[in-house]
Chain A
Amino acid sequence: MKLRFWFILPTWVWLTGLFGAPFAIVLAYSFLTRGYYGGVVQPWTLENYQRLVDPLYLRILLRSFIMAFAATGLCLILAFPAAVFISRSAKHKHLYIQLVMLPFWTSFLVRTYAWLFLLRDTGLVNTVLQRVGIIHSPLPLLYNDGAVLLGLVYAYLPFMVLPIYATLERLDPSLPEAAADLGARPWATLLHVIVPLSRPGIVAGAVLVFIPCLGAYLTPDLLGGGRTVLVGNLVQAQFTTGRDWPFGSAVSMILMLLVTILVWAFLRRESEHLA
């Protein structure tokens, strides 16, 4: 009992200090008034939350959710075949997993900037396409929703591949064999056996991709070029250029609340499905 307490203590300290306390601060700020030079001042107010009903902000929230859903869906479509492929390869399994994790070896910021060099008007893609003669003027590859989506999918794809791969690895290899034995062609086996059984991995991957996508601000900032404002950028702007910490805090709290409700409902439905 005592030993258990000492083992858990660092985690407790870490979570209360670095998660609980900032959370409480943000919560408190969201009910205060903005100071003239940033920061917060008295009195307490609900005004920050009332401002959120403005269609402008609601549209940003909606766009952010749509973007996060789209990125999650695309990640799933791309990750599932990849995970199946990796789990089935006999020899180079570990190599492929290393490759999936390779991007983590470099800074996220650097990797996102690399996309700028690829996609801008004088970037690699446009230059090559023009030299080959397929196009005559550069394609608008950057600073739009497509570029942001691409960046999000690129950034969070590994978080979808790994949990799906992990469930596929645990799958009893005699199950697909049994399906084939009972007359299921490869597609039927995939649809009726492999996909349903990798559901826990898909759920985990979906949550791992959806949450950071919803709060993303670096990718939309760099690849969206300020034109694609998502809720993450809204929060960031309030704390920096906007100097409206209370409003930024209120947006954060609402975002957190929405994510919590959504993920909780999703996981609850999934656990009912498993039972």
Chain B
Amino acid sequence: MLYDRHELRRVDPRMKPVLELRSLVKDYTGQRALAGISLSIPRGSFFSLLGPSGSGKTTTLRMIAGFEEPTSGDVLINGEVVNCRKPYERNVSTVFQSYALFPHLSVRSNIEFGLKRHGIADSEARVVDAIKLVGLIGKEGRRPAQLSGGERQRVALARSLVLAPDVLLLDEPLAALDRNLRKQMRAELKTMQRRVGITFLLVTHDQEEALSMSDQLAVMNEGRIEQIGSPEEVYLHPRSKFVAGFLGAVNWIDGVGVRPEVTRLARESQNHGSKSFPAIVTDSVFLGDCFQVVVRLNSGEEAVAQVHRGSTVFQPGEAVHVCWNPADEITVS
């Protein structure tokens, strides 16, 4: 199977995967949301489920958390089948997209909630550690309504992490934050995951998020897993056109794929080892750090190239050559 190869390379094979899905299927009144997915997540890793909305990633997450029961197939946590266990009987915890903080409870009471339900008495030190971990010291007494979006998310994280779950499930945790905060939280989440050593399973539709944080990621589409691998593997060697296109822009020229960042434009035809096709510039858009130049090839195909600021400026209507190094090509079946 696909994932065994990567897994053996990355972790000790004697260690059981903390989470395993076996041919998981979910039907909703005649509609198949999940068409049999299998994957295995090594303990302590950061794994992402990446896909467009409706690809089944949230359904998968909800079945791992125990909010939904699989139609067929198995969910295994620590090697145990947990299909029929209720959410409160599973040692996994979810950070909800809306955070789902209890509005009537203070930050501290939100974080204590799970510990109290588990009857953990001597929880003071754990609560303080969790508050420190997410940097909310001094805000313990506030209600969720008195916190910023970023702070709310930290409470949601602390509330789950304090329980030391086998797997922390994150459902689009950054979607509600603004762009700058999102970038900052991305780095923080990754650091936090390394520090606590808990397995993180992230669900996202944002490829940048999945690529920047994950050790491994699974690209999902229409209830199936298209590919599992490290961020480099899936980005550089996508197995399908869908994966290639979902992870970033691709120019499909002459049957092969070339990413805009490795597509070059030149006034003269390049012959030394590069592939080269004549084209006409149709548009040039300034993006700040680069120009995005759109060209039309003689075959009628369109291509996009990222041209560094300060290099040659291309004007619409100009005749150019689109070239790239064959080693940068994406070939899919």
Q: Which residues of A contact B86 (CB under 8 A)?
A: 180
Chain B 82-98 interface mask (CB, 8 Å, partner A; 1/0): 00001110001110101
Q: A192-B113, A197-B104 are in contact. Are A182 and B159 (CB under 8 A)?
A: yes
Question: B103 touching A182 by the CB < 8 A rule?
Answer: no
Given the complex of chains A and B, what is the CA–CA distance between A188 and B87 in angstroms? 13
Partner of B67, one of A177, A182, A185: A177
Cα(A75)–Cα(B113), bound, Å: 30
Distance from B174 Cβ to chain A, minimum over Cβ atoms (Å): 17
* Residues A182 and B163 in contact, CB atoms below 8 Å apart: yes
Q: Does B117 contact A (CB under 8 A)?
A: yes
Q: Does B9 sit at the interface, judged by CB under 8 A?
A: no
CB 8 Å contact bits of B221-236 with A (1 = contact, 0 = none): 0000000000000000
Which residue, of A172, A181, A199, has the highest number of chain B Cβ atoms within 10 A? A181
Contact of A178 among B66, B92, B94, B104 (CB under 8 A): B94
A204 to chain B, nearest CB (A): 17
Q: Given A177-B67, A177-B87, A183 and B100 touching (CB < 8 A)? A: no
Check B96 against A182 for contact (C-beta < 8 Å).
no
The residues of A that contact B113 with a CB separation of less than 8 Å are: 179, 182, 184, 192
Q: Say yes or no for A196: interface residue by CB 8 A criterion.
A: yes
Chain B residue numbers with a CB within 8 Å of A193 are 102
Q: Which of A184, A185, A188, A196 lies in contact with B104, CB distance below 8 A?
A: A196
Mask: chain B, 45-83; 1 = CB below 8 Å from A; 0 = not = 000000000000000000001110000000000000000
Identify the interface centre among A177, A178, A196: most chain B CB within 10 Å of its CB.
A178
Bound form: Cα–Cα A103–B104 in Å: 35
* Cα–Cα, bound, A179→B103 (Å): 12
Q: Do A183 and B163 touch across chains, with their CB atoms under 8 A apart?
A: yes
How far is B238's CA from A229's CA once the two chains are assembled, in angstroms?
Answer: 84
Complex contact A181–B117 (CB within 8 A): no
A174-B98, A188-B117, A192-B113 known; A181 vs B103 contact (CB < 8 Å): no
Q: Is B114 an interface residue (CB 8 A)?
A: yes
B residues less than 8 Å from A172 (CB atoms): 98, 100
Give the secondary structure class of A's interface: helix
Query: Which B residues between 109 and 123 are near A, CB-CB below 8 angstroms?
Result: 113-114, 117-118
Chain B's closest residue to A176 (CB) is B100
Report how far A197 CA is from B102 CA in the complex, Å: 9
- Chain A residues closer than 8 Å to B88, beta-carbon distance: 180-185
Cα–Cα distance between A188 and B113 once the two chains are bound (Å): 10
Chain B residue contacts of A66, Cβ below 8 A? none
Contact indicator B103/A177 (Cβ below 8 Å) = no
A174, A182, A196, A197: the one contacting B114 at CB < 8 Å is A182
- For the complex formed, measure the closest distance between the CB of A116 and the CB atoms of chain B, giving whole angstroms: 45
Binding site for B on A (CB under 8 A): 172, 174-175, 177-185, 188, 192-193, 196-197, 199
State the 7 A-B residue pairs at the shortest beta-carbon distance, nearest first: A182-B114, A178-B100, A183-B117, A174-B100, A180-B87, A184-B117, A196-B104
Contact sample, A vs B, 30 pairs, CB 8 Å cutoff: A174-B98, A174-B100, A175-B102, A177-B87, A177-B94, A177-B96, A177-B100, A178-B94, A178-B100, A179-B102, A180-B67, A180-B86, A180-B87, A180-B88, A181-B65, A181-B67, A181-B92, A182-B93, A182-B113, A182-B114, A182-B159, A182-B160, A183-B88, A183-B117, A183-B118, A183-B163, A184-B88, A185-B88, A185-B117, A197-B104
**A180-B67, A182-B159 known; 14 other A-B pairs, CB under 8 Å?**
A175-B100, A177-B94, A177-B100, A178-B94, A181-B67, A181-B93, A181-B160, A182-B93, A182-B117, A182-B160, A183-B88, A192-B113, A193-B102, A197-B104
